[in-house]
Amino acid sequence: MSAEGWTPDEIARRVAADIPDGSFVNLGIGRPEAVANFIPEGKELVFHSENGLLGMGPSPAANAIDLELINAGKKPVTTVPGAAFFHQADSFAMIRGGHIDVCVMGALQVSSRGDLANWSTGAPGAIPAVGGAMDLSVGAKAIFVLMTHTTKDGQPKLVEDITFPATSRGVVSRVYTELAVINIDTDGFVLRESAPGLAFGDLQARTGAPIRRP
Amino acid sequence: MSAEGWTPDEIARRVAADIPDGSFVNLGIGRPEAVANFIPEGKELVFHSENGLLGMGPSPAANAIDLELINAGKKPVTTVPGAAFFHQADSFAMIRGGHIDVCVMGALQVSSRGDLANWSTGAPGAIPAVGGAMDLSVGAKAIFVLMTHTTKDGQPKLVEDITFPATSRGVVSRVYTELAVINIDTDGFVLRESAPGLAFGDLQARTGAPIRRP
Amino acid sequence: MKANLTTQDSNPLIDKRINFVGDAVADIRDGATILIGGFGEAGSPIELVHALLDQGARNLTVVSNNAGNGHVGLAALIEARRVARMVCSFPRSSNSVVFDEQFKAGEIELELVPQGTLAERIRAGGAGIPAFYTRTSAGTPLQEGKEVRDFAGRPHVLETAIRGDVALVKAERADRWGNLAYNKTARNFGPIMCMAADQAIVQVRRLVELGDIDPEHVITPSIFVGRVVEVPDPADETTLINQGIKRVPQ
Amino acid sequence: MKANLTTQDSNPLIDKRINFVGDAVADIRDGATILIGGFGEAGSPIELVHALLDQGARNLTVVSNNAGNGHVGLAALIEARRVARMVCSFPRSSNSVVFDEQFKAGEIELELVPQGTLAERIRAGGAGIPAFYTRTSAGTPLQEGKEVRDFAGRPHVLETAIRGDVALVKAERADRWGNLAYNKTARNFGPIMCMAADQAIVQVRRLVELGDIDPEHVITPSIFVGRVVEVPDPADETTLINQGIKRVPQ
């Protein structure tokens, strides 16, 4: 690890290791997508893409791109054997209906009650866009957040109360950052693991709400 | 025609002639099914069966029966080119969503307001069964009722107010009986055609609410 | 917040195939709500229902379009007094003697639901929709006890989702992930019942290799299915009834 | 009671095929609500949208997951100031310059809807469900102005159906009745938008004979489709944008 804690690849590998074998998984657009690169040998996961695909495979070779086979981030993908296509209402029936085992999402803020903010900064004049974030966060059985521990200017993103507009309330089970893996239970943040060499006091100082040690 | 008016086949032929070309049609279980035998040459109708088939064809030859290809009356049928299978929620989306052009149903009673009773006599101890009757009658764009003009003991089935439990309210557009074809508009029953040789007074006498002549 | 998942691994590969119908239904508990596929005999998972009969769970709520025929399948389950409550649209048939008798004797409860409302309530259960409004049954005895609200000037009835602990479904083909394809009008309630149950158990005529069902032609995606069991030559109700078979627990 | 149908015949055979995209959209009126299929460029019916641009209807409400890219397709329609109001889940993209500009200038209205709620509202529109409850958006700014009710102890938001006067959809194959099959993830909003529009207009890569689409593999049954038009070699947005094309009314 670097002085700043785990690298993005190390974090993605950690998330991939934690997802139970056989899970149906939705990876949010952006950093969560990297989790797919680190699935341990012998573990079988089925990836869901909310635009209408279950059994999503890796990116295609440049000469095998089909612009009508894309993921939720609108990037070309492939299918694996066992894949299925379906329309939007069926895709979100899977999501809203509680059929997705794990969804890994990015976030602006996560509160100690599991509230999630990841769709809008609320900045005046910004063009709002929500996509499937609200549906995924209420619908998936477990929400893992993968994000930096603090903002670029050092403000905590794990907070007592979210100040950005909510995506969903009380939904996040676990947060992965470069500094720590933190569970959320009915009493708030609980440390699961911290980056090697990081003193607990330092971690707490960079976190906006109390963390309990198990 | 016989002394009792049109024969069942004559009535079915009349209904078949009245359904606009190109319609998507659902024929209720029992007498309405006969309408399919009288589609005029050159007219193309698509038959919907609410158990999950659009493009239903006639009964199969005895040696070509597939017990998994049946109609809503649970009788073996066939498909025509252009057919499609779908599940129950999709089938009733077609019905409830107003996509069926004409549904032909039997009835116990029809009121001059278009109220329909055709699922239950309300007799104590009888086993209630409704099937798709309520969905079809609220959902199809036009409801044609095909029934006898009176009960076996001569009571009118075209009435001021239904006395049997309602299937739906204000839905019937037209009634075909052995004595007459009667439209229903906002002011009640309107004669469209009566069986040859039948005096209007005789028709009115066997009908439980006023019939207007157009 | 939601439950944390354990990281304990089960099988190295996703494999929902079960060898015997008995094993597939072994853990169904007394008092469970069971969604049973089929419209009439098309799509009726007779072997799974008979396995449930032999398994012995009682006090069941069964959601199914019909209430069984003769003395086989669902009718046999009812006859063995395993079903406390039926939710269906059309319990009556030319041959529904078993249900008829118990109903008339007040020994089985019935919730009668219009067929389209039944289908939509089951889909809602699978899609995370707790309730919806429909015009169906407004102004009829079946709206009794339900909230009625006007939309576009017409009364609509509030209907709630139906979910099952278990679904028993018959399909044509399945792969080890649980992707399904159906046969003709036997599709009927299968896809939505698989969606709406905690554990969807499916008997299929043929198990196929992963990838054999074209992704464009999968009707029930694997995510909705818990167990698949091959029954290559399923019985049909008509034949059993014509043979005078009266299926009892074994 | 419902309207009586006239008995006047139209064509001797059901034939929904139209020769030219321009004819297919000729009767779309000012003020219409248009459902436009596609997620990003997959399934985007560019030729139909360009035909609508050339046709000239204005003051449109457009329901579509995104708000267009570059200066082609939906973005071109917006750029020509034909769209008064957008209903979508994700208007922002790396290349959504046209929408961004009009939105920031207050020249186009936006109703932002979560993607799953958008899909479900459209399906509800097609299925005759005027309204339903969903957990999505409860406790967020997007629940504002909506009824909130608890089910199973959790707040849910009442959402109403969306219907269109017209749907513009892209599919892979169609027959003369209007049965449709799609290509991969281009399916997305197509099937539900066809259900939810008074007139579903579909461009397909290939017209096929009636019966060529296996009844088991039909994704959109003919009953939901009004017109089909063959566009054998549809443009893709990426290529048009890379070519720097700025589509203007012709």
pLDDT for residue C3: 55
Q: How far is C146 from chain A (nearest CA, A)?
A: 24
Q: Cβ of B26 under 8 Å from any chain C Cβ? A: no
CB B78 within 8 A of CB B69: yes
CA dihedral B185→B187→B188→B192, nearest 10 degrees, is -50
DSSP code of residue C66: B
Q: Which residue numbers in chain B have pLDDT < 70?
A: 1-3
**Can you tell me which residue has the tokens 């905690």?**
C198
Nearest CA in chain A to D117: A135
- With CB atoms and an 8 Å threshold, state whether B89 touches C142: no
Q: What are D75-115's pLDDT values in tens digits? A: 999 999 999 999 999 998 878 899 999 999 999 999 999 99
CA dihedral B59→B64→B67→B71, nearest 10 degrees, is -20
pLDDT for residue D126: 98
3-state SS, one letter per residue, for chain B: CECCECCHHHHHHHHHHHCCCCCEEEECCCHHHHHHHHCCCCCCCEEEECCCEEEEECCCCHHHCCCCCECCCCCECEEEEEEEECCHHHHHHHHHCCCCCEEEECCCEEECCCCEECCCCCCCCCCCCCCCHHHHHHHCCEEEEECCCECCCCCECEECCCCCCCCECCCEEEEECCCEEEEEECCEEEEEEECCCCCHHHHHHCCECCEECC
Write out chain C residues lying below 8 Å of B75, CB-based.
Answer: none
pLDDT for residue C6: 47
pLDDT for residue A75: 93
- With CB atoms and an 8 Å threshold, state whether D210 touches B46: no
Q: And the tokens for B132?
A: 């798709």
pLDDT for residue D95: 85
Annotated catalytic residue within A10, A33, A50, A178 = A50
D6: pLDDT strictly greater than 70: no
Beta partners for residue A2, in sequence order? A5
pLDDT for residue A2: 44
Write out chain D residues lying below 8 Å of B47, CB-based.
Answer: none
pLDDT for residue B1: 40
Q: Which residue numbers in chain A have pLDDT < 50?
A: 1-2
Largest Cα–Cα separation, chain C: 57
Across the C:D interface, residue pairs with CB atoms under 8 Å apart total 50
The Cα–Cα gap between C205 and C47 comes to 11
Cα end-to-end span (Å), chain C: 45
Chains B and A touch (3+ CB pairs under 8 A): no
- With CB atoms and an 8 Å threshold, state whether C116 touches B66: no
D27: pLDDT strictly greater than 50: yes
pLDDT for residue D93: 81
Q: How far is D115 from chain C (nearest CA, A)?
A: 14
pLDDT for residue D4: 54
Pairing assessment for the beta strands A172-176 and A142-146 based on DSSP bridges: parallel
Nearest to A18 by CA among A107, A150, A142, A157: A142
Nearest CA in chain D to C213: D217
pTM exceeding the 0.90 threshold for the entire prediction: yes
pLDDT for residue D96: 85
Secondary structure tally for chain A: helices H, strands E: 4, 13
Write out chain D residues lying below 8 Å of B84, CB-based.
Answer: 179, 213, 215, 218, 221-222
Q: Chains that contact C by 3+ CB pairs under 8 Å? A: A, B, D
D11: pLDDT strictly greater than 80: no
Cβ-based neighbour number of residue D113 at 10 Å: 25
ipTM for the predicted complex: 0.97
Q: Cβ of D180 under 8 Å from any chain A Cβ? A: no
D8: pLDDT strictly greater than 90: no
The Cα–Cα gap between B48 and C172 comes to 23
CB-closest option in C131, C156, C219 to D130: C156
Across the B:C interface, residue pairs with CB atoms under 8 Å apart total 147
Q: Cβ of C177 under 8 Å from any chain B Cβ? A: no
Q: Which residue numbers in chain C have pLDDT < 70?
A: 1-12
Q: Cβ of C3 under 8 Å from any chain A Cβ? A: yes
pLDDT for residue D134: 98
Q: SS3 of A24, please?
A: strand
